[in-house]
């Protein structure tokens, strides 16, 4: 009776543990589906507000916690089922992708039996083998490279000879190019401030102070300045540029001021251009229109940007470098309508929801039809893109203009939808520039994507230490973003460039640019990229 009671109790505990595991697994699945739905909504309708972006981050954190809890409960359910000698249904995990083929394999062979455990015979014949793969990581290994320079003396002339000392980026430097590339990439691409890097190095047994790391960053910025100038010249020589800016706090006396990071992106891939893409960043303490006029003083071509008035000085016909033709972003225009037609957002606001504007909803639908056409012609030559736009987009744009002017004539000045309509109609020639030139894109998303790193990094490093520090960050970000646009691993590229740039001929520095580096880099680094 006691044994039967114990078995029943263990079976009940196993049932309860299994039910708990099933519950947490279901919660994790629900959270995963909610997150997928929210991401699909953002991809379809765009980001609605900073609050929604924070909500998405919160959902991802919640999903992590639920997945971890579900795994713990599933393991407990398996253990309880084994103890109760019962076969129970446990949580099913999705099928895992195979590990990358380029990873090295370490083969560990479990010793086979020398005799049959049943009859004791030693006549065993191998039938095959089963392999279980486990992904493992080797902690970072530090090493000291000793470069030996032997000295010799000539017995005839008694002259002493010795090879020259190896190049270091910093005077009397001690850090190798791989370490310097790691510091730069972690600071400007992974947004890990130097104080956190110093703490991480200390936990690994290497004492590197923040001031020492800062010296290395400054020296690297100086050594890489020639490449930055080459990228700058390449970007400003484009026929068409994407331009945008974002805020960055800059430390001042007793406070922080709202500075700006300016982004100019050359990307000819949408119209099949042969020139490689590149990004160029500048920093400033304010948003004065004098900054873009200085940045683009030698540029003449098409500038895709928003309707910021600071660019107006570039559009004058009497510029020495040539006229800059504005082409405004339809994503900005659509966003203003979308805020008045956000059905999903209003559903979450409940009683505080604003009234959905049917005019804004129809405007979003009409603009989305233009973007759908653009997706079909992305990457085609400029002439083919222009033909498709004349044939498909031009009638839609004409209908949209007539419809907007008709709706505007019926609206009062106090109507919320008049603002986005006026924003579009007052700048109609700049918005419809894409109908006259196949090189023009419908949106300015290329520049916004380039600035995404600064928008994310602000949460980690909080502010730039000075205006010069912001300029240094803009210069290194130019190198890193350009490497990313050319599908090159920025860290591997920086390590190779820092190792080679001192001895590289000045006339051949262009070989170290990201879009040419894959052909001139050593084989192992090119594979790492």
List, for residues 48-85, the tens digit of each pLDDT value.
444 455 555 555 555 555 556 666 666 666 666 666 65
Q: Is the pLDDT at 442 greater than 80, yes or no?
A: yes
Mean pLDDT of the chain: 81
- What is the rounded average pLDDT of the residues 171-175? 75
Residue whose C-alpha is closest to residue 235's, from 513, 519, 527: 513
Q: What is the pLDDT of residue 81?
A: 67
- What is the rounded average pLDDT of the residues 282-310? 88
Q: Is the pLDDT at 499 greater than 80, yes or no?
A: yes
Measure the CA–CA gap between 200 and 138, rounded to whole angstroms. Answer: 16
Residue whose C-alpha is closest to residue 498's, from 487, 490, 508: 490
Q: Is the pLDDT at 316 greater than 50, yes or no?
A: yes
Q: What is the pLDDT of residue 483?
A: 94
- What is the rounded average pLDDT of the residues 446-472? 79
- Return the minimum-mean-pLDDT range out of 3-7, 245-249, 277-281, 389-393: 3-7
Sign of the Cα pseudo-torsion (140, 199, 247, 331, in order): positive
In terms of phi and psi (left: phi > 0; alpha: psi -120 to 50; beta: otherwise), the region of 254 is left
Residue whose C-alpha is closest to residue 240's, from 381, 439, 378, 450: 439
Which has more confidence, 521 or 312? 312
Q: Is the pLDDT at 183 greater than 80, yes or no?
A: yes
Measure the CA–CA gap between 219 and 226, rounded to whole angstroms. Answer: 13
Residues 196-209 as b/e (b if ≥16 CB within 10 A, e otherwise) read ebbeebeeeeeebe
Whether 297 contacts 282, CB under 8 Å: no
Highest mean pLDDT pick, 56-60, 263-267, 319-323, 502-506: 263-267
Residue whose C-alpha is closest to residue 59's, from 41, 71, 46: 41
pLDDT in tens, 108-165: 888 888 888 888 888 888 888 888 888 887 878 888 888 888 888 988 888 888 888 7
Q: What is the pTM of this model?
A: 0.75
Q: Provide the percentage of residues in the chain whose pLDDT is more than 70.
A: 78
- What is the rounded average pLDDT of the residues 244-265? 83
Burial category of 477 from C-beta neighbours within 10 Å (exposed 0-12, middle 13-18, buried 19 and up): buried
Measure the CA–CA gap between 273 and 529, rounded to whole angstroms. Answer: 24
Q: How many CB atoms lie under 10 A from the CB of residue 84?
A: 20
C-alpha angle 143-149-151 in degrees, rounded to nearest 5: 155
Number of Cα atoms under 13 Å in the Cβ half of residue 250: 21
pLDDT in tens, 366-414: 999 999 999 999 989 999 999 999 999 999 999 999 999 999 888 888 8
Measure the CA–CA gap between 237 and 506, rounded to whole angstroms. Answer: 21
Q: Is the pLDDT at 287 greater than 80, yes or no?
A: yes
Residue 143, helix vs strand vs coil: coil
- Return the minimum-mean-pLDDT range out of 93-107, 411-425, 445-459: 93-107
In terms of phi and psi (left: phi > 0; alpha: psi -120 to 50; beta: otherwise), the region of 301 is left
| Helix 177-188 vs helix 467-485: crossing angle, to nearest 10 | 100
Residue whose C-alpha is closest to residue 310's, from 338, 282, 334: 282
Number of Cα atoms under 13 Å in the Cβ half of residue 104: 4
DSSP string, 13-44: HHHHHHHHHHHHHHHHHHHHHHHHHHHHHHHH
Q: Name, in order, each residue with C-beta under 8 angstroms of 371's C-beta and a sequence gap of 6 or more.
A: 330, 442, 443
Q: What is the pLDDT of residue 313?
A: 84
- What is the rounded average pLDDT of the residues 496-500? 90
Q: Is the pLDDT at 204 greater than 60, yes or no?
A: yes
Burial category of 287 from C-beta neighbours within 10 Å (exposed 0-12, middle 13-18, buried 19 and up): middle
First to last CA, the chain: 69
Structure tokens at 155: 């017995």
């Amino acid at each position: 009776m006691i044994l039967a009671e114990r078995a029943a109790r263990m079976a009940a505990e196993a049932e309860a543990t299994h039910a708990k595991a099933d519950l947490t697994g279901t919660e994790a699945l629900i959270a995963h589906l909610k997150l997928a739905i929210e991401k699909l909504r953002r991809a379809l309708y765009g980001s609605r507000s900073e609050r929604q972006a924070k909500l998405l981050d919160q959902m991802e954190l919640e999903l992590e916690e639920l997945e971890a809890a579900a795994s713990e409960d599933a393991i407990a359910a398996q253990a309880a089922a084994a103890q109760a000698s019962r076969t129970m249904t446990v949580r099913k995990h999705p099928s895992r992708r195979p590990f990358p083929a380029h990873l090295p394999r370490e083969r560990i062979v479990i010793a086979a039996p020398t005799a049959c455990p049943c009859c004791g015979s030693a006549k065993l014949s191998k039938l095959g083998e089963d392999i279980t793969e486990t992904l493992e990581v080797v902690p970072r290994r530090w090493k000291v490279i000793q470069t030996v320079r032997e000295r010799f003396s000539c017995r005839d002339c008694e002259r002493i000879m010795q090879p020259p000392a190896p190049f270091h980026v910093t005077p009397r430097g001690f850090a190798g190019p791989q370490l310097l590339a790691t510091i730069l990439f972690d600071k400007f691409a992974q947004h890990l401030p130097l104080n956190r890097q110093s703490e991480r190095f200390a936990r690994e047994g290497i004492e590197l102070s923040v001031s020492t790391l800062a010296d290395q960053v400054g020296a690297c910025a100086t050594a890489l300045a020639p490449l930055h100038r080459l990228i700058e010249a390449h970007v400003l020589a484009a026929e068409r540029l994407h331009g945008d800016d974002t805020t960055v706090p800059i430390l001042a006396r007793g406070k922080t001021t709202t500075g700006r990071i300016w982004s100019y992106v050359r990307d000819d891939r949408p119209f099949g251009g042969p020139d490689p893409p590149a990004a160029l960043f500048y920093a400033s303490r304010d948003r004065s229109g004098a900054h873009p006029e200085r940045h683009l003083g030698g540029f003449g071509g098409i500038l895709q940007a928003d309707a910021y008035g600071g660019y107006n000085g570039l559009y004058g016909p009497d510029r020495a470098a040539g006229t800059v033709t504005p082409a405004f972003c339809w994503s900005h225009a659509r966003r203003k309508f979308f805020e008045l037609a956000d059905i999903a957002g209003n559903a979450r606001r409940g009683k505080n929801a604003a009234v959905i504007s049917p005019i804004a909803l129809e405007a979003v639908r009409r603009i989305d039809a233009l973007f759908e056409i653009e997706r079909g012609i992305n990457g085609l030559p400029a002439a083919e893109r222009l033909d498709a736009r004349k044939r498909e987009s031009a009638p839609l744009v004409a209908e949209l203009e007539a419809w907007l002017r008709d709706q505007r004539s019926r609206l009062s000045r106090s109507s919320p939808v008049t603002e986005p309509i006026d924003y579009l109609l007052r700048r109609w020639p700049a918005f419809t520039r894409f109908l006259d030139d196949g090189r023009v894109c419908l949106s300015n998303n290329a520049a916004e994507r380039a600035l995404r790193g600064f928008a994310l990094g602000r949460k980690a490093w909080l502010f730039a230490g000075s205006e010069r520090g912001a300029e240094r960050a803009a210069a290194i970000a130019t190198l890193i973003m350009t490497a990313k646009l050319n599908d090159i691993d920025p860290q591997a590229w920086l390590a190779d460039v820092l190792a080679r740039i001192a001895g590289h001929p000045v006339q051949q520095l262009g070989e170290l640019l990201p879009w040419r580096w894959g052909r001139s880099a050593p084989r192992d680094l090119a594979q790492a990229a």
